[in-house]
Amino acid sequence: LFQRECQFVAGAMKLEQLPPMGPIEIAFAGRSNVGKSSLVNALTGRKTLARVSQNPGRTQQLNFFDLHGTLVLVDMPGHGYAKVGKSKVAEWSQLIEGYVRGRANLRRVMLLIDSRHGYKDSDIHLMDLLDRFALSYQVVMTKADTVKPKELEANRQKFLDQIKRRPAAHPEILVTSAEAGVGLTEVRDTLATLAAQ
Ligand code: GDP
């Protein structure tokens, strides 16, 4: 699935700009600076797929990438960036809500969380929304290289406990580091399994 180049399909800033539904979609969401671009690039082996952000909060659109016609990877705009105004946040919420509500081929949202910091209000907000629409999401811890192994495992357990009672949360958390190449196989396997279903 990840051997060859993936193709940019479309970018949507508004609901009207969403591409037609095709194969299964897996979305990647996370706060600005969580390491989403780095992880997506590491997964696909493509440097230009999602540019490592210089200006967090700037790319407020959904980006669709086709992985050889079997899976579409959706890069969701980074949420929870403190410096964007209220109207921008409202725009973001509207786009995301409209997208997850009507998207029958959206199988799972991978919610990226910094291994050191855990959930922030904007993450909780997104989880509330996904629970409301019964849309499966799975937490992926990023930047695992920044935390000692013992603390990493303790955090994983804590993060898992915190979402235990959430109906749409997947009962397994993935641990990754784009920098150290940790956990990439597990994420790829998860996507491949979802694509094959
Ligand atoms: P995005 O805004 O979520 O797309 O985040 P980026 O991928 O642009 O990364 C934000 C910052 O975190 C950059 O300075 C990256 O170099 C750094 N970063 C990303 N992934 C890792 C990682 O696995 N380990 C470490 N130590 N830093 C990372």
Query: What's the Rg (C-alpha) of the chain?
Result: 16
Q: Are strands 71-75 and 62-67 parallel, antiparallel or unpaired?
A: antiparallel
Cα 21 to ligand 1 centroid, rounded to whole Å: 30
pLDDT at 57: 46
Is 145 near ligand 1, meaning CB less than 6 Å away? yes
pLDDT at 91: 81
Are 168 and 136 contacting, i.e. CB atoms less than 8 angstroms apart?
yes
Please state, in angstroms and as integers, the Cα–Cα distance from residue 193 to each residue in 152, 184, 196, following that order: 26, 14, 5
Is 34 near ligand 1, meaning CB less than 6 Å away? yes
Is 35 near ligand 1, meaning CB less than 6 Å away? yes
Write down the H helix ranges in the chain: 36-44, 86-102, 121-132, 149-163, 184-196
Quote ipTM for the complex: 0.99
Q: Which stretches in the chain have pLDDT values below 50?
A: 52-58
pLDDT at 11: 87
pLDDT at 178: 96
State the closest ligand 1 atom to the C-alpha of 36, by its place in the atom list counted from 1.
Answer: 3
Cα–Cα distance, 65 to 72 (Å, whole number) = 5
Atom 20 of ligand 1, nearest CA residue: 35
The domain spans of the chain are: 7-196
Atom 12 of ligand 1, nearest CA residue: 35
Question: pTM higher than 0.80, yes or no?
Answer: yes
Residue 18's SS3 state is coil
Is 52 near ligand 1, meaning CB less than 6 Å away? yes
| Fold annotation for 7-196 | Rossmann fold (3.40.50)
Cα 126 to ligand 1 centroid, rounded to whole Å: 21
Is 37 near ligand 1, meaning CB less than 6 Å away? yes
pLDDT at 1: 64
pLDDT at 147: 97
